[in-house]
Amino acid sequence: MIGRVGASPQRVGGRGRVTGLQHYVADIRLPDILHAKLVTLDCARARIVSIDTSAAERVPGVRLVMTAADLPQPVPRFGPQFQDRPVLAVGETKYHGEPVAAVAADSRDAADEAARLVKVEYEELPAVFTIEGALDPAAPLVQDAAQRPGDNLAATNVLREHLVGWGDVEATQADLVIEHTYEFPMVTHFAIEPHAFMAAPDGDGIAVWSSIQHPNWLQKVLADILGLPLAKVRVHAPDPGGAFGGKQHAKYEPLVALMARRADRPVRLVLTLEETFQAARRASAKIRVRTGFQSDGTFAFQDIAADYLIGAYADIADRVVGKGSYPGCGPYRVPAARITARSILSNTTPSTAFRGFGAPQVNWAVESNIDAGALALGIDRLELRLLNLARLGEAFIPFDTPADGQWEQVVHRAAELIGWGTPLPAGRGRGIAVGIKSGPTTGLSYATVRLLADGSVIVFAGTSDMGQGARTILAQIASDELGAPLDWVTVVMGDTAVVPYDQQTSASRSTVLMGNAVLDACRDIQSKVRAMAARLEGIDPSEIAVEHGVVRLPGREVPIVDVLKPGLGPLGGELIGNGEMRKEGDPGHPLGGSVAFFEFNCTAIEAEVDRETGDIMLVRHVTVSDVGKALNPLQVRMQDEGAAVMGLGHTLMEHYIFDGSGRIRNLGAIDYRIPTSMDLPLELLSDMVENEDGPGPYGSKGMSEGALLCVSAAVAGAVHEATGTVIRDLPLTPERVWRSLQEGGNG
């Protein structure tokens, strides 16, 4: 069956998932493997006095115990923005869970025992783990000033400040000004697959397996640290078992690679779930929003000050802050704006990319503040949003990509599905919110497609398929363009020795960037088929068209394979197509490049609140996204509904709990709650708007983060309408709602 773009064939690679035969990194068995275990301290910050590895080394089966002293000196540091993170802690641990040593042994039991026997003498140091704590002038510095040469903020815990704006906020007159401060919690990805890493000497190079989203990026990091040419660093990136941004950048691969080299044997490290909470999280934030409204509801200005609490090492967190806050005013016409955003270091898990990339935090604050303005003005919350919503082509961020969708259609559809304006049963409320997120600002994807002699196809694409279904849509594109049945298309991903370069899988870019690269490669093959047909028919290529698997000759059309077989002749062979999609950066742009597309979503909620207990019952959850073209409608629906459920997590139940000295109390699944099947809204409805107005293949846009962006504001809006109580702090746990009702919290 030809996998027509726009159809929803079974997920490519799905069979391996439902039979348990698919191998994730932790399922791969290498001969002679050494099992590694990290040694960490049970405190947030400590000065390492001494490390005694002798007892650990004596455990039978232990082959290696490494500390910073055993690494190349000075200890290598890495990181996508700043090379601040050491391979193992140097002199000081800066967050609860930073490893000070690692052991490797023939068995997991021996590794576990040896890790317990590494004796670290340490002195606990005061830690900062809140925004207030980090900004206190007397606060200890998370990073030594020496690590930040030439940085005029080096004597503070502020890593960077970002400022975006237009117009003159101070000079702008407004009939009503609403100012509030909102807080967004610290949460973690909790992919069901914990991060997993392996490394093995590979001839004069090294082979690495990782659940990484960006194999080529990792390849470069490792090549730099190991002093190897890229061609001698092979990164295998099996499909991650969920990633959501938490597996974008190197975490322990450098350590495992150095251990493999030292031991001259393969080394395997698989994190426990608890260790993943200590390895990756979303930035928490405190955001003060001052919104100016005219009495007719039009926005006068937005003045946003966002403090994001990032971890002890930057990872990609500062980019999250800058890029996430950048469209912070939302998809609206705003005459004057000022957005200041700060990344604030703390002695906590390094925050990294996480679905939404800094936008959900600001969205929570800004959309809630808009609701507050609507309430004060006596204007319907839907009407107020429609009044200010940017229309297609409007430069709502003055110097950037204009509004690239008919967003009002999305809002109308969501309003229709929630029944906005229809009578509400007593005790219920509705909320509605919109969100945008910027797509990639730079990008580069290569694809190679091979059309084999029998018409079957192999696609080489470096995208990571972590559940979003990239493999399927890329196969659909090739199937559609080259006329091969979908089950005659193989997609090869995740091997830097075999698959050409892909910059990264993030920012919902792959449909657009890799999709276009694959399309480009297919078009390359189509032009070769055209030349082949012209030769066979003895006519000019200009008289032939090749599209959607068919060769259109004068007077007739034939499937590509019917030209291919005679065209290849007795020697056989294949046709190889190469494709590339590149988006260049712009050094003058605040984000380093304009946005390739926006993800736009409208979420609407109807809810009931049990006033005695604070329980929120979600009666209906509507989510509508602007997707351009759904290459695979079922996968679009799955991504949007999945993002909606994930958004309910930080809205209703997820948060790290710390003790008084910065230690995480709720590591693991028992006391960190994520939504289960029983926590779904009574009705969860998703829909999409398709105007084929995106830059991706067939008019598609990127999607999969949008439906998470504005869940919180929509839920809080519904809670407010149902109860009169306003809450500006997430998650909306039953206890927090109860407390707000008790205290009469209405702003």
Partner 1 sequence: MTTIPIEVTVNGRSRSLQVAPQHTLLDVLRDDLALTGAKECCLVGECGACTVIVDGSTVDSCLMLGVEADGAVVTTIEGLATGGRLTPIQEAFLDEGGVQCGFCIPGQVISAHALLQASAHPSIAEIEEGMAGNLCRCGCYQQITEAILATAEAGRR
Partner 2 sequence: MRSFAYSRPATLAQAFKTLESGGSDCRLLAGGTDLIIRLRDGSLQPTIVVDVKRIPELRPVIREEAGRLTIGATTVMSEIAADERVRRHFVALAEAAAVVGAVQIRNRATLGGNICNASPAADTAPALLVYGAQVVAIGSAGSRRIPIRDFFVRSGETTLRRGELVMAIELPLPTQRTGSVHLRRTRRRGHDLASVTLACLVDAAGVTRLAFGSVGPRPVLAVDSSGVLADDAADDDAKGVVLEELFATASPSAGSMRASPEYRRAMLRVLGRRAVGIALDRLAGGGAPG
- Residue closer to partner 1 by CB (options 20, 744) is 20
Longest dimension (CA), the chain: 85
712 binds, among partner 2, partner 1, none (CB under 5 to 8 A by kind): none
Residue 239 near partner 2 by CB under 8 A: no
734 binds, among partner 1, partner 2, none (CB under 5 to 8 A by kind): partner 2
Residue 652 near partner 2 by CB under 8 A: yes
- Residue closer to partner 2 by CB (options 552, 673) is 673
Which residue shows structure tokens 């399927």?
Answer: 472
Helix or strand (DSSP H, E) at 738: helix 734-742
Among 102, 218, 466, 604, binds partner 1 (CB under 8 A): 466
CB 660 within 8 A of CB 723: no
Residue 58 near partner 2 by CB under 8 A: no
Residue 240 near partner 1 by CB under 8 A: yes
Task: List phi, psi (to 5°) of 391.
Answer: -100, 160
Alpha-helical (H) ranges within 458-558 are 470-482, 513-537
Tell me how crowded residue 593 is: count the other CB atoms within 10 A of its CB. 18
Tell me how crowded residue 26 is: count the other CB atoms within 10 A of its CB. 20
d(CA 451, CA 436) in angstroms, rounded, equals 39
d(CA 360, CA 560) in angstroms, rounded, equals 46
d(CA 447, CA 581) in angstroms, rounded, equals 9
Closest approach, Cβ 674 to partner 1, in A, equals 6
643 binds, among partner 1, partner 2, none (CB under 5 to 8 A by kind): partner 1
- Residue closer to partner 1 by CB (options 520, 606) is 606
Q: HSE (CB half, 13 Å, CA atoms) of 580?
A: 6
d(CA 408, CA 430) in angstroms, rounded, equals 19
Q: What are the C-alpha distances in Å from 176 to residues 91, 173, 374, 720? A: 53, 9, 10, 21
Residue 469 near partner 1 by CB under 8 A: yes
Q: Is 606 left (phi over 0), alpha (psi -120 to 50) or beta?
A: beta
Q: Which region among 153-161, 308-316, 339-347, 672-680 touches partner 1 (by CB under 8 A)?
A: 672-680
Among 118, 432, 645, 727, binds partner 1 (CB under 8 A): 645
Exposure string of 684-693, with b = 16+ CB inside 10 Å and e = fewer, is: bbbbbbbbeb
666 binds, among partner 2, partner 1, none (CB under 5 to 8 A by kind): partner 2
738 binds, among partner 1, partner 2, none (CB under 5 to 8 A by kind): partner 2
562 binds, among partner 1, partner 2, none (CB under 5 to 8 A by kind): none
Tell me how crowded residue 179 is: count the other CB atoms within 10 A of its CB. 12
What is the DSSP pairing of strand 158-166 with strand 556-559? unpaired
CB 168 within 8 A of CB 336: yes
Q: Which region among 364-372, 405-413, 644-652, 738-746 touches partner 1 (by CB under 8 A)?
A: 644-652
Which among 227, 231, 249, 232 is positioned nearest to 240, based on CA atoms?
249
Cis peptide before 731 (omega within 30 of 0): yes
Among 657, 683, 746, 747, binds partner 2 (CB under 8 A): 657
| Site track for partner 2 across 679-698, x = CB under 8 A | x-------------------
CB 82 within 8 A of CB 154: no
Closest approach, Cβ 660 to partner 1, in A, equals 25
Site for partner 2 in 577-636 (CB under 8 A): 612-613
Closest approach, Cβ 634 to partner 1, in A, equals 4
Among 185, 675, 695, 697, binds partner 2 (CB under 8 A): 675
- Residue closer to partner 1 by CB (options 26, 250) is 26
3-state secondary structure of 558: strand
Residue 270 near partner 1 by CB under 8 A: yes
Residue 733 near partner 2 by CB under 8 A: yes
Residue 192 near partner 2 by CB under 8 A: no
| Site track for partner 1 across 105-144, x = CB under 8 A | ----x-----------------------------------
Helix or strand (DSSP H, E) at 373: helix 359-377
* Chain residues in the site for partner 2 (CB under 8 A): 109, 112-113, 612-613, 652-653, 657, 665-666, 670-671, 673, 675-679, 733-735, 738-739
Task: Give the footprint of partner 1 on this chain (CB under 8 A).
Answer: 8, 10-11, 13-24, 26-27, 29, 109, 189-194, 239-244, 270, 272-273, 466-469, 634-635, 637-639, 641-646, 668-670, 674-678, 680, 684
